[in-house]
């Protein structure tokens, strides 16, 4: 789903930061506690850390990329793809938004001084709105919490006595089915699901003020959504026998944005800290959590 150029750009960014960290990692002493955006960790080769966290995100100004209909009727199967002018008409006249509430746990590992990798998983409740206008809108939301998972890479470099440069990249995947649908124009909906994927690349500066680590930065994100809904329409075949026609709507939606963010971490002990972070203007994202460094 992600274009090759986008992937190459992300890889180039990560490789460049990794090279910097390996070359200059000697100026960050093992055991130093650094805020890595919302994931500060102890810089110790082979050390683990765990981060329970909560995150609210709201993406606006999403755009319809493609839309197709599949008709299963008595006469057979038919297909219809929206042409470019109909897609442009939708994007000009309607808005699309995506909001999620995620509770998760991140488990990380320090591969070398100045870099760590992590994997995370959790449950997510989301709301996807489409066809938003002054008159109406359509909404799909999770009936049950959806499973969410992903991974991240952190890179960091000491610039001064108390100043650090941080690079962070992550990818998040969300899968769901059995959605609640609010759509007055729909017939009987028999299946509905949404798959979402978004990735982020961030760069920040942090400064140590005693036990406080405030930080500010900028980032780029890209979100991909695919919604597939099947409706059932009662009808009859050529001989007048009851027949349930089915129509499947397949929409692909995308959005991206450059954002700023600010946050602070407070160190309760050498192995425990709490943090809060916010991003703006799009997406609006609020993250809070507890960091537990495992000095194994």
122-141 pLDDT, tens digit per residue, is 999 999 999 999 888 899 99
Give the list of residues 6+ apart from residue 13 with CB closer than 8 angstroms, or none.
Answer: 167, 169, 201
> Are the C-beta atoms of residues 153 and 146 closer than 8 Å to each other?
no
- Average pLDDT in the 52-77 region? 94
| Res 267: pLDDT | 93
- Average pLDDT in the 99-119 region? 92
242-283 confidence digits (pLDDT tens):
778 899 999 999 999 999 999 999 999 988 999 999 999 999
Model's pTM, two decimal places? 0.79
Query: Element (H or E) spanning 92, and its range?
Result: helix 84-93
β strands within the chain, DSSP E? 33-34, 41-42, 48-59, 63-73, 76-81, 95-112, 115-132, 138-142, 146-158, 163-177, 179-182, 188-207, 212-236, 242-269, 272-280, 284-294
- Its domain, for residue 16, covers 4-294
| Res 296: pLDDT | 52
**110: confidence class by pLDDT, cuts 50, 70, 90:** confident
CA distances 219 to 23, 169, 216, 276, Å, are 24, 9, 10, 17
Residue 21 reports pLDDT greater than 60? no
Query: Mean pLDDT for the chain?
Result: 84
| Res 33: pLDDT | 43
204-219 confidence digits (pLDDT tens):
999 999 999 999 999 9
Q: Specify the CATH number for the domain of residue 200.
A: 2.40.160.20
Instruction: Using alpha carbons, select from 215, 183, 158 the residue that is nearest to residue 23.
Output: 158
Identify the residue whose tokens are 């470019």: 84
Identify the residue whose tokens are 């942090």: 206
DSSP symbols for 115-142: EEEEEEEEEEEEEEEEEE-SS--EEEEE
| Res 60: pLDDT | 94
**How many domains does the chain fold into?**
1
Identify the residue whose tokens are 């036990």: 211
**226: confidence class by pLDDT, cuts 50, 70, 90:** very high
**46: confidence class by pLDDT, cuts 50, 70, 90:** low
Identify the residue whose tokens are 């990794």: 18
- Average pLDDT in the 31-35 region? 43
């Amino acid at each position: 789903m992600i274009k090759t150029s986008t992937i190459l750009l992300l890889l180039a960014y990560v490789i460049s930061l990794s090279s910097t960290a390996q070359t200059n990692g000697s100026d960050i002493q093992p055991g130093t506690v650094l805020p890595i955006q919302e994931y500060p960790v102890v810089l110790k080769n082979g050390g683990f850390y765990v981060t329970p966290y909560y995150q609210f995100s709201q993406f606006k100004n999403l755009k319809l990329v493609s839309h197709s209909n599949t008709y299963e009727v008595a006469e057979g199967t038919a297909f219809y793809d929206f042409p470019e002018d109909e897609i442009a008409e939708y994007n000009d006249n309607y808005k699309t938004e995506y909001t999620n509430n995620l509770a998760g746990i991140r488990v990380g590992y320090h591969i070398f001084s100045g870099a760590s990798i992590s994997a995370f998983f959790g449950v997510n409740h989301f709301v996807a709105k489409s066809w938003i206008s002054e008159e109406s809108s359509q909404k799909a939301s999770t009936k049950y919490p959806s499973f969410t998972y992903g991974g991240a890479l952190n890179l960091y470099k000491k610039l001064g006595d108390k100043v650090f440069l941080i690079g962070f990249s992550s990818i998040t995947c969300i899968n769901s089915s059995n959605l609640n649908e609010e759509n007055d124009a729909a017939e009987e909906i028999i299946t509905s699901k949404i798959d979402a994927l978004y990735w982020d690349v961030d760069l920040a500066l942090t400064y140590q003020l005693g036990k406080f680590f405030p930080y500010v930065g900028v980032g780029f994100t890209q979100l991909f959504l695919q919604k597939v809904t099947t409706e059932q329409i009662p009808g009859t075949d050529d001989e007048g026998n009851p027949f349930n026609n089915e129509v499947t709507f397949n929409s692909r939606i995308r959005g991206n944005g450059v954002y700023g963010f600010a946050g602070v971490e407070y160190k309760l002990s050498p192995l425990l800290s709490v943090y809060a972070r916010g991003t703006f203007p799009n997406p609006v994202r609020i993250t809070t959590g507890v960091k537990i460094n495992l000095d194994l």
